[in-house]
Structure 1
């Protein structure tokens, strides 16, 4: 369409879907102390396949456990169906991966990683699921795969077509899977050549797709081998076991047979339960976890099974009830050590300590104090700016403010401390208070899904149950700081119960809890969190910001200490110690699992089947590595347990970036300070006007870096008897630090005999540096004078406008959507043309390239957006809503999040009268177009629509997240405007 032309009204009418109204009927309120939450959702709820949206238990069998459904697990796509509405995406259990099919369960045991990307740039490695064999029932053609049950690290898929049925048990660290079937013979089939190298009655050893397996049928059964199909009637007893063997590709048949015999004694000990029991011992600064496997013998008297331990378990193994095998299984996490006839094993994982904040040993006097005072003055006008008032960005603002509180308290700056505390208190109180009709800054319970959702949500925390541990960790951490100064606010009679609800939702520690699943986001066996609620990716589930997961764990420790709740404290210590070990092994590659040729020695994201040097939101090296170090708090000292690795990782960042950081410098320097504080301080002093990361302040960064430059690095050879303690060493001299957030004095004893007396509310350092600060308990007035203050606030003038953001790790991958089939009866249908034009549909053949994300999209139209426009438009408004259907593809990239905005200038005067910004759509890593439609819903909107009188319409497309470009097909993409 030529500029200035009036669009004809005779365009073909489009049939489009009406965006779902997110707001439900006004719910009731459930009181919790002085606060409360809405009794039903007040906004969007989890989305998925139609049956799942109608009933989250639709994929459960009738005899499945009652109670809230688990999400955010390695097997979640089996239950929370989102892309494959019949079966699921691959389930990466390690050392075996599985994928349900209508005929049964597919097995895959990849031994080597597949690399992609550019070495030295953005890279990926995946132990990609390639099916070796399917275990099923002759003739089975199930319409869906269901879930019959689960335990701490196993799941039981179930199939039935009315005449035949199959149930399997699979799990982390279990090379064996068990099957119960009815209605036909057991079939093991493969699309690859199958070679049988051992056949001994009921036991069969075979190779499929180059990988070795053993199949164990009941005594008296036999196997018939026909080409690539293995068949057994199972002697009419209806069960079998299949074990993946860890033999090398060049093993001899004799070696294969020996491997089969080594596991045969455990084959019929079917795993029917798994449980991890933890105990935190503050005096020894260790978390002892016993992993128990309950088995039921299918035949004979075997009681133990074959278990394979991850590196983070093997490193801290203190006992195992089983026999170590002379083999290891390859996995994306490194070699897994195997034990036969095992029923339990125990690990003793160090808890390295957390602090409310680093002590001001170097910033409480002299020139450093003058510098810090000036930086604190910069934030005094608004110590808690909120970029966007959703759960994530409110959390980030709370985190920034609590750092200011802690520093100001240490320095005796009570006016600034109390001002920041007031903002924290008012914000938390507002979010923790529900009233009828309140739909923003409120939490609401979804009984169908068994979850507490904060509204406004972000990054799929509502529609996909992503990232609750990320978002809520900031709230809990802020509440922990507030609890020290205002214990009444933190009491159950006031708002403490709401804090506990957030904890129970994200990672509930109480097995008796009936409202939320046990440890929603934490994978008990893998040792770390998963971020995606549905996990519906070919690569499995994912976790990007491991450090934001640790923010949640550290917050539990500090909240438990501040309120005297040892159950919460101990749960936090368990999560913290276990995940700190896993992060060092996998994100920072202590396990040496990253394959040669990958080009990096650290990961930005861990996937079920591998890892990537990337983020969901940016390809910048600073952000890829920085997303696993922020937020910088006293709960993140674990990042410094290997100072040499800190220095090496920083050097890799500089190399990958082609020089020193140019964004997120404060995050990078704060991380470097844990390995080389003096260098970090030099870099900070050389660039004092750096742009501030949105969750940080220059005051806190200077405080952190300057004090670590004086303290040195973390000394993990000595520990204190309090969880709020740490030891630092520089030039061989130690500084002992202990904090006391209680109202009574405390003595902390260190393992080398040092004793530190800590007054109530204080932080004390002794040794190479002697210092004491803080000491306020219950200081500020606990009653807000003017009621809750809204959480939004203007960006302070002392900080530059944010240009990037740490988007949480999980990316929602919406269900592929067909061309809309219902909605407004007519509308103005436009397509994407060349030269930045909107043209009458259909568009010409071609594609538009959308660049990789450059950071947080805080505007309706970022500078690098693809923009198309029609001007001189005259048309009458119909009173309907905007609709669009965009053909989008990101190739093999794992999840670009593309966002679209539409703007209307009704009179052509250059002023946008209406702006609509839609939620982003995260693409899958499978080449081929997906449909991005208005059904994702509006993220934000301003202005009103009216008739177009020589007006203009403008569409912008950009990647809000993602590490590479996406393409849009112009012929297959349409925009339907509510005009005629």
Structure 2
């Protein structure tokens, strides 16, 4: 994969001889990325352990298991699941494959798409494996009853076609009858299924008289495709083109924007939802669960999103003395009330993240004793987590390397982390805490770096190797991550906490500054900006105008094949919005957008007030609607009981947030 790297500019401030960031930005010095060569010693030092229960994998030898991909459901589990190479749905069948466009509908809480097997193709296959993949495309090899290859199937996000290439002489049979609609060297055929036109391109003479059978010799290709609204099937057949073997991803951060460019190799492509293309998209559109999707000629998708600068701390310069004293008193009380550290990576990570922010806030308001106390507790805990041999002595607060699934797993596991669920949600907290601790005490960096580098590589390796996949979770096409490791769902993969995902890439960015890694910094800047944009466009401020039945301001779980107003853990409205806000770190100051949408969403989430789960974050989000909103939210926040403040937050940080938002 070609990746053009341009170094991100991140500003730093040095205070009291420490690389403590009071402005919220960091400086990066030239250096090498924590790449495979740098990470191998740390991985070699970690105990190897297969943490997840054994699971079937339909995967070719030599490929790193593709957890957390849009197509992971094809690979893992007893039977393959449908996947959603937008705008299509695709599924393996007992004898071949099926695909189709979604039939989109909406209820009050769900925008439905789901798998629609509009076209089914029988290849006389009895088995299938994923034989190649990148972040956007996947190749599946089909086998007959004797174990011989029949052919390969190629699909990709953003491609409206399914391409089959024969590796043996084969007759493919569809349940649907196609009729000829154009001539030329390659005949174009079509079939109308439930009001949608589907096309078929095959070598001249390959399609039998029944309109259902395609005869292919070795190396020959057939393509089935969906025809977009506003385009004739014959016109679109000329534009479909032959896809490349992979999708090249290029990203760059320049000035105030970040660019993503995907090169498919000459086929018609479909723009992702929520972004404006830099390329021409005039071949019609498809109706999808994410709204109308424009179709573009030329095989290249390119778009920009606003650049989000990494941020490690709130800017408290210039706050008044009364506010400074209130924050200082709260910081002392918060440190005294800090509970024992939890054992797992999620809640343990949140514990360390809270202390890191507490230390920076205390230092910013001049409470150096509190800052030092918080720093000591943080460093003591980090030393446990970053001891490579820790899991040889205990079964918690330590890491192992799983040699089967190829990644770093923290013990004790939670929320399916052993199956690689939510690693970015978990590890973002720890990485942020490690970066802050290393800024407070630069001599600590070399000590904790080996294990922290390994954790960073698990979720954000810029390069693929035999230890880790490239960018395990981040999807360059959708611009956001996928949270489920195995994706054992009929609606594809999903992500709930868009804010924790953005927090993870912010954490990687500030860690890259500690490590002096230009390559990792550029990767993190891209993922942070894209994920932040997607969080607003798909979760917090989505365009829901085309879904009349949907009755809410936001969506709280986005899937490949549907969108939900729901969470995995609560049916309460405060949870629906709150899980999109946690943990309201310094970079979350960029979440402010449409003030009316913010007020409306917070109003929907808090019909009975703010003494609810995530009430602190809901008030912090309300503050982004404007100065008057921030002042009003701060007054309510002052009355919140301690039990309402999340375990990644503290009263001192809550007060500091409002001070940073409302200061002149």
Fold match (TM-score > 0.5):
yes
Relative to structure 1, the CA distance from residue 390 to residue 486 in structure 2 (aligned partners, 3 Å threshold; closer, same or farther) is same
Decide which of 300, 303, 306 is 1:350's aligned counterpart. 306
Decide which of 148, 151, 154 is 2:131's aligned counterpart. 148
User: What secondary structure, in the 3-state scheme, does the structure 2 residue paired with 1:45 have?
Assistant: coil
User: What secondary structure, in the 3-state scheme, does the structure 2 residue paired with 1:329 have?
Assistant: strand
* Aligned pairs for 1:458-469 within 5 A: 458-462=414-418, 464-469=419-424
Decide which of 67, 70, 75 is 1:71's aligned counterpart. 67
Kept after mapping to 2: 8 A contact 1:291/1:345: yes
Partners of 2:45 and 2:370 lie apart in 1 by: 31
Decide which of 100, 103, 109 is 2:92's aligned counterpart. 100
Q: What do the CA deviations read for 1:286-310 (whole angstroms, capped 9, x no partner)?
A: 222221223xxxxxxxxx1101011
Partners of 1:563 and 1:383 lie apart in 2 by: 29
Kept after mapping to 2: 8 A contact 1:467/1:532: yes
Partners of 2:39 and 2:180 lie apart in 1 by: 66
1:428 CA displacement? 1.2
1:632 CA displacement? 1.5
Kept after mapping to 1: 8 A contact 2:252/2:259: yes
Partners of 2:45 and 2:549 lie apart in 1 by: 51
User: What secondary structure, in the 3-state scheme, does the structure 2 residue paired with 1:526 have?
Assistant: coil
Partners of 2:406 and 2:640 lie apart in 1 by: 48
**1:39 aligned partner:** 47
Q: What do the CA deviations read for 1:358-416 (whole angstroms, capped 9, x no partner)?
A: 222575512x2333233222123254642x31111110101111110110110121111
**1:477 aligned partner:** 432
Partners of 2:105 and 2:82 lie apart in 1 by: 16
Q: What do the CA deviations read for 1:75-104 (whole angstroms, capped 9, x no partner)?
A: 001112x2xx24x11101111010000211
Relative to structure 1, the CA distance from residue 223 to residue 364 in structure 2 (aligned partners, 3 Å threshold; closer, same or farther) is farther
Partners of 1:385 and 1:622 lie apart in 2 by: 27
**1:571 aligned partner:** 523
1:73 CA displacement? 0.6
Corresponding position: 1:259 with 2:216: no
Decide which of 463, 466, 471 is 1:514's aligned counterpart. 466
Relative to structure 1, the CA distance from residue 442 to residue 195 in structure 2 (aligned partners, 3 Å threshold; closer, same or farther) is same
Kept after mapping to 1: 8 A contact 2:190/2:200: yes
Partners of 1:594 and 1:375 lie apart in 2 by: 47
Query: TM-score by structure 2 length?
Result: 0.87
Kept after mapping to 2: 8 A contact 1:263/1:340: no
1:151 CA displacement? 2.0
Partners of 2:71 and 2:546 lie apart in 1 by: 23
User: What secondary structure, in the 3-state scheme, does the structure 2 residue paired with 1:217 have?
Assistant: strand
Kept after mapping to 1: 8 A contact 2:308/2:525: no
Corresponding position: 1:306 with 2:268: yes
**1:597 aligned partner:** 549
Decide which of 370, 384, 388 is 1:434's aligned counterpart. 388
**1:128 aligned partner:** 114
User: What secondary structure, in the 3-state scheme, does the structure 2 residue paired with 1:330 have?
Assistant: strand
Partners of 2:293 and 2:539 lie apart in 1 by: 17
**1:287 aligned partner:** 258
Kept after mapping to 1: 8 A contact 2:239/2:267: yes
Relative to structure 1, the CA distance from residue 530 to residue 391 in structure 2 (aligned partners, 3 Å threshold; closer, same or farther) is same
Relative to structure 1, the CA distance from residue 31 to residue 500 in structure 2 (aligned partners, 3 Å threshold; closer, same or farther) is closer
User: What secondary structure, in the 3-state scheme, does the structure 1 residue paired with 2:645 have?
Assistant: coil
Partners of 1:565 and 1:365 lie apart in 2 by: 38
Partners of 2:42 and 2:69 lie apart in 1 by: 34
**1:61 aligned partner:** 60
Relative to structure 1, the CA distance from residue 235 to residue 565 in structure 2 (aligned partners, 3 Å threshold; closer, same or farther) is closer
Kept after mapping to 1: 8 A contact 2:610/2:619: no
Partners of 1:349 and 1:164 lie apart in 2 by: 43
Kept after mapping to 2: 8 A contact 1:104/1:136: yes
User: What secondary structure, in the 3-state scheme, does the structure 2 residue paired with 1:428 have?
Assistant: helix
Unaligned stretches of 5+ residues in structure 2: 1-37
* Aligned pairs for 1:134-173 within 5 A: 134-137=120-123, 140-142=124-126, 144-161=127-144, 162=146, 165-173=150-158
* Aligned pairs for 1:653-668 within 5 A: 653-654=605-606, 657-660=607-610, 662-668=612-618
Corresponding position: 1:646 with 2:598: yes
Partners of 1:603 and 1:425 lie apart in 2 by: 38
1:574 CA displacement? 0.6
Kept after mapping to 1: 8 A contact 2:557/2:567: yes
User: What secondary structure, in the 3-state scheme, does the structure 2 residue paired with 1:488 have?
Assistant: helix
Decide which of 326, 330, 340 is 1:371's aligned counterpart. 326
**2:8 aligned partner:** none
User: What secondary structure, in the 3-state scheme, does the structure 1 residue paired with 2:638 have?
Assistant: helix
Kept after mapping to 2: 8 A contact 1:311/1:336: yes
Size of the aligned set, in residue pairs, is 617
Kept after mapping to 1: 8 A contact 2:328/2:362: no
Corresponding position: 1:624 with 2:581: no
**2:14 aligned partner:** none
Kept after mapping to 2: 8 A contact 1:90/1:129: yes
* Aligned pairs for 1:818-967 within 5 A: none
* Aligned pairs for 1:445-456 within 5 A: 445-456=401-412
**1:339 aligned partner:** 296
Q: What do the CA deviations read for 1:210-254 (whole angstroms, capped 9, x no partner)?
A: 32111001123334336xxx112247864201111123xxxxxxx
Relative to structure 1, the CA distance from residue 488 to residue 642 in structure 2 (aligned partners, 3 Å threshold; closer, same or farther) is farther
Q: What do the CA deviations read for 1:236-274 (whole angstroms, capped 9, x no partner)?
A: 864201111123xxxxxxx7xx52233223444133110
Structure that is richer in helix per residue: 2
**1:217 aligned partner:** 202
**1:715 aligned partner:** none
Partners of 1:542 and 1:443 lie apart in 2 by: 25
Partners of 2:248 and 2:46 lie apart in 1 by: 33
**1:699 aligned partner:** 652
Partners of 1:225 and 1:642 lie apart in 2 by: 56
Relative to structure 1, the CA distance from residue 537 to residue 133 in structure 2 (aligned partners, 3 Å threshold; closer, same or farther) is same
**2:3 aligned partner:** none
Kept after mapping to 1: 8 A contact 2:39/2:454: no
Relative to structure 1, the CA distance from residue 574 to residue 164 in structure 2 (aligned partners, 3 Å threshold; closer, same or farther) is closer
Q: What do the CA deviations read for 1:88-138 (whole angstroms, capped 9, x no partner)?
A: 1110111101000021111020142243xxx3xxx222202121111232x
Kept after mapping to 2: 8 A contact 1:329/1:337: yes
User: What secondary structure, in the 3-state scheme, does the structure 2 residue paired with 1:269 have?
Assistant: coil
1:639 CA displacement? 1.4
1:179 CA displacement? 0.3
Q: Which of the pair has the greater relative contact order for Cα pairs under 8 Å at 6+ separation?
A: 2
Q: What do the CA deviations read for 1:629-684 (whole angstroms, capped 9, x no partner)?
A: 00021122231143332222112223xx3555533221111111111312211222
Which structure has the bigger radius of gyration?
1
**1:276 aligned partner:** 249
Decide which of 443, 449, 465 is 2:399's aligned counterpart. 443
Structure that is richer in strand per residue: 1
Give the alignment's Cα RMSD to 1 decimal. Answer: 2.5
Partners of 1:393 and 1:376 lie apart in 2 by: 20
**2:28 aligned partner:** none
**2:19 aligned partner:** none
Relative to structure 1, the CA distance from residue 437 to residue 702 in structure 2 (aligned partners, 3 Å threshold; closer, same or farther) is closer
Kept after mapping to 2: 8 A contact 1:399/1:477: yes
Kept after mapping to 1: 8 A contact 2:103/2:116: no
Partners of 2:661 and 2:634 lie apart in 1 by: 9
* Aligned pairs for 1:663-742 within 5 A: 663-675=613-625, 676-687=629-640, 691-710=644-663
**2:172 aligned partner:** 186
User: What secondary structure, in the 3-state scheme, does the structure 2 residue paired with 1:311 have?
Assistant: coil
